[in-house]
Structure 1
Amino acid sequence: MKRVIDNFGKNLWVLILLLSMAFVNVSCDDDDDDEAGNEEPMPVETMTITDIAAGNTDFSILVAALQKVGLDDDLASESGEFTVFAPTNAAFADLLEELGASGLDDISNDVLTSVLLYHVVSGSKMASMIETGYYNSLSAGPMDGYGLSFYVDMATGTINGRAMITATDIKADNGVIHVIDKVILPMSITDHAIANPAFSSLVAGVVKAELAGALDDDAATFTVFAPTNDAFDMFFTDMGITLDDLSKETLSSVILYHAIGAFVPASMVEAGYFPTLSTAFERNISVKVDTDGGVMLNADSEVVATDVVATNGIIHAINKVIMPPGIVDIAMDNSNFSILVQAVVKAELVDALSGDDPLTVFAPTNAAFEELFAAINVTGIDDLTKEDLTPILLAHVVSGNVASTDLSNGNVPTLNDQKMIAINVDSGVSIDGTINVVAADIQGKNGIVHVIDKVIVP
């Protein structure tokens, strides 16, 4: 028995040795084949977004649409990554019926390209990475570099309040696909407000003011600072009113005061005064923008979300409703006029400057007042009486809404019966020879303000 075991052991070692030599020989042969190039490497199979769509019969219309406009190759490229919200055949059938089209050939390539790219986001975003909010698609907006936005509500699983996300995380080599049951369409400013439930109060106001058509116009471009529902609730509470208490005309003026007639993304917002679409005396009422520590409007309303890109403009959300300002409001909203405000309050001229009759105010800055204080040897407003201040302040006010372009050389009467001011427009605008207008045409609802660098002394 021991001999049998010994012989078995010897035979086993011989067998292992032979197998090892055979493995080495085969490996060497494989290496020789590879070095000689006699055998081709196995092809690596790709699965791009286009490949996955083409392999699924439920995406046949989507694939046909991509091929029609030449986007199939773009979504087959592995040089970038994309997230595609892919409409099914049923979704496209619903769209064609909605448009009254018999097929894709009834839709122009430009329109179809815009719609298809509206379903594509740069980067690979799995479902766990998508939060409720706005996403910028690859569909071109009104300005280069700003793709049209769509709104995803993860609480309901919908996009733009229109399409339901029915399947997620179909992974491709160059991104990911999520399936939706409706084709989403690029939206105007009005459409965006309707699609986001946080703007329902704004939508109600726009409808009552009959402005939906104006803000839906693709022939114009707007920037809208859109108050949220909370902003409107605060506004109505502070005013002690409801939406029903506002006339169409008042509501229209307020809503248009939140819009500017240009495309201004967050990266281009600058400090200063800008004309809104709300008007007074056939001029656009100004809104004050501050950019220190965030963007503020009229020193009170904060921009809390930016760059929702629509087909006809861009939306920034704000946390307070802003009202068209009067002359006194313009001064109060600008810290450079704080001494002027103190003077107007002490002279009890607030009501006189808040009436309906148009006025033009040449407003001295704080630096201008401080120069006056030094010249007359006082420390500030507290050293001057109401009787001291009233004739000085009234010398800065002219009847009428007089824009800088309406000024001409000559003497102009002020609300101080004893004081005429000498206007010269030969090189800029100057008053009494030594006072310069350093900023002009800040339009309010009851008049216009021009900023000056010295106090007018009667």
Structure 2
Amino acid sequence: MKKFKSLLSMMLMGTMIVVLSACGDDDDGGMNVNDDSIVEIAQGNADLSILVDLLERNPDLVQLLSNDGDFTVFAPTNAAFASLLGVVGQTSADDIPDAVVRRILLNHVLSGARVASGDITNGLTATTALSANDILTFGVAGGGVTVNGANVTTADVDASNGIIHIVDAVLVPELELSIVNTVVEPAYFNKNFSILTEAVVTAGLLETLIDPEAELTVFAPDNDAFAAANITSLEGLTADDLTPILTYHVLGSEVKAADLPSTAGGFATTVSSLGGDFYLTNNANGVFINGNSQVVATDIDQDNGVVHVINRTLVPASADIVGVAVAAGFSDLAAALTEAGLVDAVASPNGPFTVFAPTNDAFQALYTALGVDGPEDIDPLLGDGTLSAVLTYHVLQGRVFSSDLSDGLMPSTLQGGDFTINVGATVTLTDKDPDVADPTVTSTDVLSTNGVIHVIDGILLPIDTAL
């Protein structure tokens, strides 16, 4: 094992220092107890400050362990939490999601009983406040006590509402233990990936991704990456909705950054994920998927694979170029394609194509400049085949993403001519009509099942029309 084995070694090899404070009877025959609650005692111990901070993120637990009652609490030291953070790859307890913190805390609490060290026998088990399935197992040897392998370093600290045993390791619940050192770990223990974690659980993919026998590559989007893809909540989404998206981020083999295919001097290459093909650009500008999702951190190595972090969630295409254009409201483009008889040509299964798609306003500006009402008037005015020539001048063979564009690139179009791509503060396109302003690319990398669409604010013209 990797990191977790080293943690277990620290847990099991340390000297067990147990301070046994037998509870004597008071004059009334009852036990002597501290007037301070469990929470107050923890707050007064500088070596439990991380535990206190985590408790304070759960006010109801603070209230519970401050009230009257009978609790047994196993309190990890600051060093114990620091060791756990190192194992799960986080730098601060503040990075751990609240839901995970809560689960870990509850796994340290026995409710309804004060279990003193003298009551513990070797092999004794107890159910924690987390769930009936989360069990603590005790050991007694050489005058010392262990709990789930952690050493009790200070025992029997009496409180008004229970008893505290200080331990030298965090008692991690079974679920979290199963996630450690898997490709799920970097997201599960980091609050910036809470949407991804929730999606994995909702989709029922957790068991698949923590399989110790698997060899996987995960391109992991953080919460900001979901927002960039206009996914800010999973409310109303089902496993059927989420599974195609999540599996689209996973490769069925381990691929380190150095092994990603280079596309220098070319265009995006096809990569097969568990959810279908995506398109990878790997050039001097970085590594990109489907054009607008950049790999921003690489090679987070785990026992069953590797994780790379991306800054935009990947969403597989669900419609072809024509379907995407219609759904996005490009009604004038659709009308022009229909008039020119090109709908079937750019629909599935043909392609793949790259389409620089003019907006409705761009088409209307052209019609106004020509003094015509719509696409049906283009050929009668300018000659048969003109509309088809103009439209196919906007189409490239193959998938060309924004991450593949370079200044001065002159791609060949389906019409047969070319135009020039100018990359600067914005991306503009220079066509064959010098008297018309160069269209600007206003939106990029709209994926379709048979290509990709970039939106432009003007019409590209394959000839000098003297407009």
TM-score range, shorter chain: 0.3 to 0.5
User: TM-score, normalised on structure 1?
Assistant: 0.44
**Which protein is bigger by CA-based radius of gyration?**
1
How high is the TM-score relative to the length of structure 2? 0.43
